[in-house]
Amino acid sequence: MEDEIVSGKPLPPKITAVKALEDWKLKLTFTGGQERIFDMKTYRYGVFARLEEPEYFQRVRIVKGSLCWPHGQDLHYGMLYHNSNPLSFQE
């Protein structure tokens, strides 16, 4: 629910669409239609090392409004929203 509140603050919108782009970027669409770009370059290490493989990176999926990959790597929609840039900012 878009108007959920935690600790008196509304939750950030959830992801409704994702597209893996070149150069390890993700185009995210959030509830309400806002589009943002998230740069994954610094997340290709440790548990996310497999994302270095372009074919695997492309296998991103949405689960409960957040992003997941087949081997359990996941990123929360709130972190993605707050650490991404509006699409118009990128153009």
Strand locations in 32-75 (E)? 35-39, 61-63, 66-68, 74-75
- Look at residues 49, 55, 52, 20 and name the one whose alpha carbon lies nearest to residue 37: 20
Structural domains of the chain ordered from first start? 5-90 (3.30.2020.10)
pLDDT per residue rounded down to tens, the chain (91 residues) = 445 655 667 889 999 999 999 999 999 999 999 999 999 999 889 999 999 999 999 999 999 999 999 999 999 999 999 999 999 755 4
Kindly state the tokens that stand for 20. 């893996």
| Residues 74, 63 contacting (CB under 8 angstroms) | yes
- Residues β-bridged to residue 5: 10
Residue tagged 């493989």 (tokens): 53
Kindly state the tokens that stand for 7. 């600790």
